[in-house]
Structure 1
Amino acid sequence: MRVLLTGSSGWLGRYLAPLLARAGHEVIGFDVAPGEHTQVVASVADRAAVEQAFAARRPEAVVHAAALHKPDIARYPRQAFIDVNVTGTLNLLEVAVTAGCDRFLFTSTTSLMISRAIREGRGGEAAWVDEALAPLLPRNIYGVTKLAAERLCRLIHEEQGLSILILRTGRFFPEEDDTHRTLSGENMKANELLHRRLTVEDAADAHLVALERAPELGFDTFILSAPTPFSREDAAELRRDAPAVIARYFPEAADLYARRGWRLPSAIDRVYDAGHAERRLGWRARTDFAAVLDALRTGAPLPFAHDADYVSPKEG
């Protein structure tokens, strides 16, 4: 089918566009920045540009991955987040309905589920984050606008019947964390595969699966993250003594980390549970924390991308 992919020049887009093409889809890349997989250079906030792209390219489905992200808070005013993340999503939804598209994927974020209290580690145990978590109290303009866009998705589904799946992705960015620098980027990414990260390849694969399943499922929201080894019963000890919990599941981890000069997390404040995606969507991330330990044990390349110098194409 013909698929309009927004964010086609971005980090996810550069993996997702060729994956969709290999699956037999005709990909129409739409991005504010030029790129290898982008045919339409425009902003989703530009309603006329969106309408023109639909009229000229006649997409049958939409994968909406374009957005301003959390690091953009330092570069853009709040209004820009509203224009791109909220108005842009509404533009695509309404034009998709008018054009007769039968499915729409919205790339959202687990970030909108993390309140200030969770981020600051208040309480005596790690927060267990699944799709039932409530209330949702986003802590910044990024989360607020992504949550607003999700609610627009639900509204359009209920009013118009458009099949829409919302994919709340964990972390998969390649660059350094923009707020935490106590560990090396590779060490932090490895730790996060325990509870809040997935690879960009797995994120792209989830979108491909969701695109195929959307008409059957109608509407749903899925957390995407590497499968965590932990259970809810571990939550209190994860906040108090994460290395002890990790040692029960991975007895070799401390020694393998020491050889690399890495540190395990002393405490874990949240765990993303991707079980709903596995049960209902039929997707499970291929890469997990065990793959990191395998790489450390054998000397193979690490199973995730790390690029301290990565810059979003829109800033290049």
Structure 2
Amino acid sequence: MRVLVTGHNGYIGCSLLPLLQQAGHEVVGLDNYLYETCTFGPDVPDVPSLRKDVRDVELGDLEGFDAVIHLAAISNDPVGDLNPDATYSINHRASTRLAKLAKEAGVERFLFSSSCSLYGAAGDDILDESASFNPVTPYGESKLLVENDLRELADDDFSPTYLRNATAYGLSARLRGDLVVNNLTGYAVTTGQVLLKSDGSSWRPLVHIEDISRAFVAILEAPRELVHNEPFNVGRTEENYKIRDVATIVGEVVPGSTVTFADGASPDIRNYRVNCDKIMETLPAFQPVWTVRKSVEELYAAYVANGLELDDFLSRRFMRIKHVRELQEEGVLDDSLRRLEASVA
């Protein structure tokens, strides 16, 4: 297939592109390259691409594609809370507009990178795809709004699928240090402390970005009738953890590290765990291979090999909110997260 991947130069995109290419698909990217200086570890995949804000996509950009994989978004709660209207503009309104244009351009498949965060504050129940929603952040709510809009577009000619990804972790050429597994491991390596910023009591489903990428490939290649207008929780049911249990794993993997709590650590209202059986039962080709412990071992080895130090780990290279704020201070981004000049400092 000829596939357009939005956000291809980001955290998940750098993992997804090689798998799509290995599977024989022709891949084109679309990205505003907001994080092009935030590089770590493996090489960034190189594909033909459009340097464009997803809010500015035109009909002609989408013509000739069999499928769109839509990753581009404001990717975490701190950045989302910085300007909630910008989050809704990018994550919701631009995503819906993209899908409408894709449908008009004759694109048959639209794979939307949704999130289990739309379940929000859900208690201790294990939730499948039929569960009710209770998002507690603009990020989570924006994902729900897009799913609702895409259902209205679904028909015989346009087939959307909703991948509700669990909380991501793992190495990437665009490594994020603000995700819980990556973050706890980074603190452990650079300080000897597995630093919990909450009381660690909340549940969270966790999934490696390579397994998220495998899910996209499996759904892209699946018979239409199996995935048309369907949501899928992406992860492994057994990989639901309380955050304090993740910290314990990190403490066991990183030599000499101990679990500690930040001053004022309190419960996190984001609390949910999910059942991911549906995707594996529907698509036997999707076989996730990662666990949190295996990834902590991977991260530990990579951090040590690259000589990671605390100042670097806490810098804009790994912390999305710090990168965005510094770009605003430098006059590269405005309050709506639009570029004010062509290049990133």
Q: Which amino acid aligns with 1:50?
A: E
Task: Classify the secondary structure of the residue corresponding to 2:11.
Answer: coil
CA distance in 2, matches of 1:254, 1:146: 30
CA contact (8 A) 2:233 2:274 kept: yes
Equivalence for 1:285? 288
> Which residue of the partner structure matches residue 32 of structure 1?
32
Moved more, 268-277 or 78-87: 268-277
- Candidates 114, 136, 141, aligned match of 1:144: 141
Is 1:170 the counterpart of 2:185 in the alignment? no
Q: Deviation of residue 289 (structure 1)? A: 4.1
User: For structure 2, which runs of at least 5 residues remain unmatched after alignment?
Assistant: 37-45, 170-174, 189-193, 262-266, 328-343
Q: What residue in structure 2 maps to residue 79 of structure 1?
A: 85
Distance (Å, rounded) in 1 between the aligned partners of 2:13 and 2:182: 27
TM-score, length-normalised on structure 1?
A: 0.72
SS at match of 2:167: coil
Q: Going by fraction, where is helix more abundant, 1 or 2? A: 1
SS of the equivalent of 1:196 reads strand
Please tell me whether the aligned partners of residues 161 and 230 of structure 2 are also in contact (alpha carbons under 8 angstroms): yes
Q: Does 1:3 align with 2:6?
A: no
User: Of the candidates 213, 216, 232, which is equivalent to residue 207 of structure 1?
Assistant: 216
Pairing 1:130–2:128 present: yes
* Number of residue pairs the alignment of both structures matches: 278
Question: Aligned AA for 1:169?
Answer: N
AA aligned opposite 1:147 = L
CA shift at 1:107, angstroms? 0.3
- Can you list the C-alpha shifts for 1:74-98, whole angstroms capped at 9, x where unaligned? 43x2221222112212222112222
Partner of 1:249: none
1:52 has 2:60 as partner: yes
Cα distance in 1, alignment partners of residues 277 and 27 from structure 2: 30
Runs of 4+ in 1 over 6 A off after TM superposition: 178-182, 186-189, 252-255, 299-302
Matched, 1:96 2:91: no
Contact 1:31 1:41 in 2 (8 A): yes
Q: Distance in 2 between matches of 1:111 and 1:263?
A: 26
What is the match of residue 276 of structure 1?
278
The one-letter code sitting in structure 1 at the alignment partner of 2:96 is: L
**TM-score (ref. length: structure 2):** 0.67
Identity %: 24
1:13 aligns with 2:29: no
Identify unmatched segments of 5+ residues in structure 1.
247-251
Using the alignment, how far apart are the partners of 1:97 and 1:273 within structure 2?
Answer: 31
SS in structure 2 of the partner of residue 197 of structure 1: strand
Alpha-carbon contact 1:209-1:281 (below 8 Å) kept: yes
- Taking the aligned partners of 2:278 and 2:164, their CA distance within structure 1 comes to 12
CA RMSD of aligned residues (A): 4.0
Q: Mean Cα displacement is larger for which, 35-44 or 91-100?
A: 35-44
SS of residue in 2 equivalent to 1:45: helix
Give the C-alpha shift of residue 271 in structure 1: 2.6
